[in-house]
Amino acid sequence: MPGKNKTPLLRTGCNKLLVSRAMTSAAVVSSMFYAFRNMPIGDASVITSTSPVFATLFGCCCLKERFGVFEASTLAISLAGITLVIQPPVIFGHVSEESGNQPLVFLPVALCFIAAVASALNMVLSRAMKHIDLFVMSAWIGFVSALPPLAYSVYAGFEHDTKLPEWSDLPYACLIGFQSWTALCLSNMAVRVSTD
């Protein structure tokens, strides 16, 4: 019978993992949007690109993947590079205005690290659920991760008289959504291919 091996949408056997995966996706997107708006894009991109560091650690702890000298040295080099980009005042002292570098604000930097950790959790959760159909996982992620931003948008619109986007912004929003969905599908397929 065709479609018999398909994963049902609601009875997947790992609904808690799907909800966790969706919530971490929402954390990644929300954190990155805030950080990219409130700090230099290059710095935010470098910090959020540390997700492989966390994915390696989570993979070792949760999925029992090997962690050898190569992985440890790669993590050390990555963290040293991030430290050079962020230049925390504890290590580098105060940044002078003359150098052109502005000190990074704590909240956007913290949100970049939250996005990196949540992205790493996404990779580990995707690997743990590789038996779930790609489109079932995408549907769960789309539905669950849309709820918190939708609730906040309604709250912010009523309580704070927030300006809604113009109709001319709709194509950009759709393009961002399509790009995010495509990236989600490709990353889930990459996790499946790398473990087969």
Structural domain that includes position 133: 15-195
Give domain status of residue 50, yes or no.
yes
Q: In this structure, what are the phi and psi dihedrals at residue 7, rounded to the nearest 5 degrees? A: -80, 130
Report if residue 1 sits inside a domain: no
Widest CA span of the chain, in angstroms? 71
Question: What domain count does the chain have?
Answer: 1
**Does residue 162 lie in a domain region?**
yes
Q: What is the DSSP string of 161-176?
A: -PPPPPGGGHHHHHHH
Full-model pTM = 0.71
Whether 7 is covered by a domain: the verdict is no
Helix (H) or strand (E) holding 77: helix 69-86
Looking at the domain assignment, is residue 10 inside a domain?
A: no
81 found inside a domain? yes
| pLDDT value of residue 183 | 77
pLDDT of residue 69: 92
Question: pLDDT of the chain along its 196 residues, tens only?
Answer: 344 445 565 666 677 888 888 888 888 888 888 888 888 888 888 888 888 888 888 988 888 888 889 988 988 898 888 888 777 665 666 554 544 555 567 888 888 889 999 989 988 888 888 878 777 777 777 777 777 767 766 666 655 555 666 777 778 777 877 777 787 777 777 776 665 5
**Residue 4, in any domain of the structure:** no
Give Cα 54 distance to the centre of its chain: 12
Is there a domain that residue 112 lies in?
yes
